[in-house]
Amino acid sequence: MNRKMRGLLAGLLTLAMALCSAPAAAQNAAPPAAKAPRKVLLWKASSPTATVYLMGSIHVGDASMYPLPPAVEAAFDSSKVLAVEINVKNIDQAKGMKLVQEFGLYSGDDTLANHVSKETVAILNQFCEKAGFPKTAFEKLKPWVVAVTVIAISLKAAGEDPALGIDQHFLDQAKSQRIEEMETAEYQLGLFSAASEQDQLELLTASLNQVDKTQQLMLKMQDAYLSGDAEKLVAVVREQDTLPKALRKKLIDDRNIAMAEKVEGYLKGNDQAFVVLGAAHVVGDTGIVKLLKAKGYKVEQVSAEAR
């Protein structure tokens, strides 16, 4: 395995996390220009003993997303705990590559060509030629790994960077905060590897179909995010969601329930926590905000002008 491929596999952990939280599909409408928000995707949950701030995140981004409103930074600065999905700063690159090899490579003489249609192979080859990426690098990868790789390459070409994601921003800023993880890299990669082959193939098809519109899609998502309008963001996420139903349940709905229980654990404690999770986990009918309210907690969205 060459150096380029080893580096790519090691980097898939962050990108798999992004895909877990913001699945997207091709759309035709041009995104409106981003405007300064009157609201932010930050909620304050309260209990008799603790306060938890819940921040909706985009895991990849660009400079237009910053600076964040003072209300967000103030809530973070006053918190003792920073909780994220996974702490990507602590991922060992060698271990990351080993995990992807374990979960995402065919064994023996088996190859991707034995599992996908000739039409998909042709489209994938066209993508590789256009992106300047060696098509041989995909030969041993399972469909879900190829899908995430296609998304990774497309995001990079569109100028999107995991280093400018909201999670990374707070991980970089954390000084006195105790950093805790909601999940593990092994768990997140296991969600993809456990998907049926049909679901993986559908994910790959959707990834290839959206390649030429990646920048347009991300601008649309960022505009909804920067508006601070939860309902608008929900509409965009729904519009762009092409995950197979069973896979979506595993990647979004089931994880929301588990994450809400962990947030509740902070509410039952004494330390103020700042929890950063993919925005698709926070908002919507199955989102964590709604789940916490159903448990009887007071949860209110924070104003951008709050002090």
**How large is the average pLDDT for residues 29-41?**
52
Cα(182)–Cα(201) distance, rounded to whole angstroms? 28
Which residues, listed in sequence order, are joined to residue 56 by a DSSP beta bridge?
Answer: 277
Domain extent at residue 71:
3-25+36-303
pLDDT at 69: 92
Task: Report residue 237 CA to chain centroid gap.
Answer: 12
Q: What is the rounded distance in angstroms from the CA atom of residue 186 to the CA atom of residue 277?
A: 18
Q: Which residue has the higher pLDDT, 292 or 99?
A: 292
Helices 93-104 and 3-21, interaxial angle, to 10°? Answer: 80
Q: Are 241 and 248 in contact (CB under 8 A)?
A: yes
| Structural domains in the chain (count) | 1
- What is the average pLDDT across 67-72? 93
Would you say residue 227 lies in a domain? yes
In a domain? residue 11: yes
> Could you tell me which residue, 223 or 2, shows the higher pLDDT?
223
**Residue 118 maps to a domain:** yes
126 is a domain residue: yes
Q: Which of 90, 44, 103, 47 lies closest to 71 in space, CA to CA?
A: 44
Taking residue 292's Cβ as centre, other Cβ atoms within 10 Å add up to 21
Mean pLDDT in residue range 251-275: 97
Q: Are 297 and 46 in contact (CB under 8 A)?
A: yes
Q: What is the pLDDT of residue 22?
A: 43
- Of residues 262 and 188, more confidently modeled: 262
- Asked if 285 and 31 touch (Cβ cutoff 8 Å), the reply is no
Does 207 map to a domain? yes
- Domain-embedded: residue 31: no
What CA–CA distance (Å, rounded) separates 165 from 263? 21
Q: Quick check: is 169 in a domain?
A: yes
End-to-end distance of the chain based on CA atoms, in angstroms? 53
